[in-house]
Amino acid sequence: MIAYPPLDTDSPSFPSEADLVQMMCRHVPYIEQYWVDEDDEYGYFGTLDENEFKPAGGPINEMIIRSLGDELRGYAVLYQSEHYDASVAGVDKPHLLDRLNRCIRWICAHHVSGARRTKPFEWDGQWGDDWESSLWVADIAMAVHQVAESLDKNVLEAFYRVLAFEGDRFVGVDPPDGRWIDTKEEENAWDAYLLAWSYCLLPDHPNAEEWLYRGKLFAMNTFTTDRDRVDTSPFDGRPLKDWICTQTAHPDLTVENHGSFHPGYLGCGVLLLQGRLAFQLTGRQPPPHYLHHIEDAYDVLRRFFLFNGFTAYPSGQDWTYHEPDIQVQHAVMFEEFGDRFAGHILWQNLKYLDESMRAAGDGRFNARMPCASGGRYFQFETGIMGLLGILVIAGIPDFKPISEAEFRREQIGTDDYPYVWLQVRRSKQGLFSFAWRSLKRQVMGMVVPAGGEDTLGSDQDAFVGRFEVEGERLKPHPLYHNDRTTDRGFSTTGVIEYADGAVRQSIAVVALEDGETSIVIDRAVSDIELSVNEGFGLYIMNDFVNDNRVTISFDGGRRVVRGVGGKARVIETDSTWIKVAGCLGIETDGLQLLYEDAAERNSPERWKNLLQDRIFLRHQAAGRTVRDYACVIRQGRAGARRVGDGVERVKTDDDGLRAYRFRSLTGFAVVVANFTSTQKTIEIGGASVEVLALDTVVIQE
């Protein structure tokens, strides 16, 4: 393990080009171990053996070519950089150029316009003319442009052949349309990215003007809403609506991919900015089309930023957790649009990247991922090299972090995203959310308290828990829900079915307006025997970011739970309350809270690049009733200190009503949930309270 000296993040110059190049140099010895010499002219990084891909599976052409394009961008930057440190990288600059020449030559020879064929490339031993090959070729174009004067002539000629071929795929082609489930915005963005580089590097090609026009068209159709299709304001010589042939986003600019709202895809505007960079680097004025809705989409994305630079995924995450988010888009939003939040996020992520590399100690960027010579893990590593390269190529503005108080103050407010069935409360005490349609058609909640951004995570069954029959997890099917949102809080009340209606769960989730307190009320009945019935579910990251340990305390005990390398177990607290990392408190109306110590990385399901422990409840059935409880959540350090006063169930005369009294930031509150289909009246403190059908009310005492 290499003990890299930490970057000086306290320096006024951090992050500088020298800082980024230093991290890239650390990576070179790691990637060099995977170099393969085919002969004196050809070579590549990684493996072509699918059996060595980690994790197994994945689109073969993407796994290989995309990874190489990212790595080559980094090598091109290092070759040109005055800050290159051969003593850290272990190779000299001529070695870098040799890799660039041989690898680009190898890539182009295996393109469908070339002559070589090698297994396991999917198109009869070749690649190209693919749904994502625009992205791969545009990435390589940036590397080629960076070192064009130094590359062998036959390498340049081969690449320009590939670039023209991929650009010609879009002659006379309109952008594809897609809004629900699988937005087409990222595909249109990377096609616009390619067309920009095709035009800028081959301006004398017979189809160059067509590439320019199609690039504008695909850029305009990256983020589109229904309003764009009726917008008659002038844009580049015609009504804006005449540029639009798609709808890729909902009216509030949320986008769906992999089945539901996915914040990461709001960041695909970075591909348009990388296309725009082609014009800037070649001395041309970028068309304004490459900025269409860029700022608007980023404004939605930034609502999910956390103070430490991470992004919250309140509808679930099926990519790896917490890849260092060092996209050039943050730099552009800071420098050109004056968004200090963007600069803060990039600063925090570069700091995190340095910490991650030092935790790995072997040249990997992401300490949470295993070494791999192929597959997604390999691709994600090379991807960071490419992103660092883009930042250096584009130039690093002078951004700095903002204060925690300023960050939290600006994020205050509640957002309702009706098209994706999501509500989010942001306050000085943190983030709290609930989604009725998350990835894989799940239902889930999320809580990230202030001070717990490195510790509190989430997964697809958070807040709703798990039902299993004979080892098989039952899938939720939300029937209906009633949502209410105010400026500072929200409530949602609904019904979920499992196993074709054999299990029926009524659940209410309320984020109080005090910004600190929330409650989950869960009542479930079942007509089948359940082998697992675990309620609530709250996830705790326990990894190197929080020093591989989490402190929990409960009535009568305190534990320091070790993360990776610990002992897998379930800690029975014999307590109705628990505090996590000093910034989150949870309290039930009588059930014991249990803490599942995972001991090894376990999420997301496919990638397993993050260790998440879990807090949950176990229930004893009483006839058909298999759950009947309330759980109060308090965010922030002050909120955690308020745990221990108890959660009192208030007696009701109607079995369809549930009422609970508990302490909030501003005093005591009573929350009443009506799980029936008719309006109900309940007596609370001598007063009659009306509760609409399938609704929840909050009474502050």
Same domain (yes/no): 149, 32: yes
Q: Supply 190's token pair.
A: 């990377």
- Domain boundary (349, 374, 397) is at 397
CA distance 573 to 650: 25
Report yes or no: 171 and 246 within 8 Å, Cβ to Cβ.
no
CA distance 368 to 321: 9
**pLDDT the model gives residue 381:** 95
Q: How confident is the model at residue 342 (pLDDT cuts 50, 70, 90)?
A: very high
Residue 692 included in any domain? no
**pLDDT the model gives residue 460:** 87
Q: Is the pLDDT of residue 368 over 90?
A: no
**pLDDT by residue (tens digit) across 75-132?**
999 999 999 999 999 999 999 999 999 999 999 999 999 999 999 999 999 999 999 9
**pLDDT by residue (tens digit) across 550-566?**
999 999 899 999 999 98
Q: Is the pLDDT of residue 214 over 80?
A: yes
CA distance 201 to 282: 8
**pLDDT by residue (tens digit) across 247-303?**
999 999 999 988 889 888 899 999 999 999 999 999 999 999 999 999 999 999 999
CA distance 499 to 502: 5
Residue 20's φ and ψ, nearest 5 degrees, are -65, -45
Q: Which segments within 110-269 are labelled E, that is strand?
A: 234-235, 238-239, 256-257, 260-261
For residue 607, which of 264, 368, 266, 259 has the smallest C-alpha distance? 368
Same domain (yes/no): 393, 535: no
**pLDDT the model gives residue 50:** 93
Q: What single DSSP character describes residue 622?
A: B
CA distance 465 to 503: 13
Does a cis peptide bond (omega within 30 degrees of 0) precede residue 12?
A: no
**pTM above the 0.75 mark?**
yes
- Domain boundary (599, 629, 646) is at 646
Residue 675 included in any domain? no
CA distance 622 to 532: 15
Q: How confident is the model at residue 184 (pLDDT cuts 50, 70, 90)?
A: very high
Q: How many domains does the chain have?
A: 2
**pLDDT the model gives residue 369:** 87
Q: How confident is the model at residue 32 (pLDDT cuts 50, 70, 90)?
A: very high
Helix then strand then coil, % of the chain, to nearest 5: 35, 25, 40
**pLDDT the model gives residue 488:** 94
User: What 3 state SS string does 210-230 have?
Assistant: HHHHHHHHHHHCCCCCCCHHH
Residue 538 included in any domain? yes
Q: With b meaning 16 or more CB within 10 Å and e meaning fewer, what string describes 653-666?
A: eeebbbbbbbbbbe
**pLDDT by residue (tens digit) across 569-619?**
999 999 999 999 999 999 999 999 999 999 998 888 888 888 999 999 999
Dihedral of CA atoms 536, 579, 603, 568 in degrees, nearest 10, equals -100
**pLDDT the model gives residue 608:** 83
CATH of the domain at 615: 2.70.98.60
Which residue range is the domain that position 134 belongs to? 15-169+358-397
Q: Which residues pair with 427 in a beta bridge?
A: 430
Residue 346 included in any domain? no
HSE-CB at 239 with a 13 A cutoff on CA atoms is 9
Q: Is the pLDDT of residue 322 over 90?
A: no
Residue 473's φ and ψ, nearest 5 degrees, are -70, 130
Same domain (yes/no): 468, 602: yes
Same domain (yes/no): 129, 161: yes
**pLDDT the model gives residue 349:** 97
**pLDDT the model gives residue 81:** 98
- Domain boundary (646, 666, 693) is at 646
Same domain (yes/no): 493, 598: yes
Indicate the burial class of 181 (C-beta count within 10 angstroms; 0-12, 13-18, 19 or more).
exposed
Same domain (yes/no): 370, 507: no
The greatest distance separating any two alpha carbons of the chain, rounded to the nearest whole angstrom, comes to 89
User: Which amino acid, 98?
Assistant: D
**pLDDT the model gives residue 538:** 95
User: What 3 state SS string does 94-114 have?
Assistant: HHHHHHHHHHHHHHHHCECCC
Same domain (yes/no): 82, 34: yes
Same domain (yes/no): 379, 418: no
Q: Is the pLDDT of residue 440 over 80?
A: no
Same domain (yes/no): 377, 449: no
For residue 384, which of 355, 353, 360 has the smallest C-alpha distance? 353
Q: With b meaning 16 or more CB within 10 Å and e meaning fewer, what string describes 257-286?
A: bbbbbbbbbbbbbbbbbbbbbbbebeeeeb
Residue 270 included in any domain? no
Same domain (yes/no): 517, 377: no
Same domain (yes/no): 500, 383: no
Name the helix (H) or strand (E) containing 353.
helix 340-360
Average pLDDT, the chain: 95
Q: Which segments within 300-421 are labelled E, that is strand?
A: 413-417
Task: Please state, for a pLDDT cut of 70, what percent of the chain lies above it.
Answer: 100
**pLDDT the model gives residue 507:** 98
Report yes or no: 433 and 303 within 8 Å, Cβ to Cβ.
no
Rg value, the chain, Cα: 27
632: CB partners within 8 A, 6+ apart: 517, 518, 519, 586, 587, 588, 647, 660, 662
Same domain (yes/no): 421, 382: no
Residue 190 included in any domain? no
Residue 490 CA from chain centroid, whole number: 24
Q: Supply 208's token pair.
A: 């160059």
Residue 520 included in any domain? yes
Residue 557 included in any domain? yes
Q: How confident is the model at residue 197 (pLDDT cuts 50, 70, 90)?
A: very high
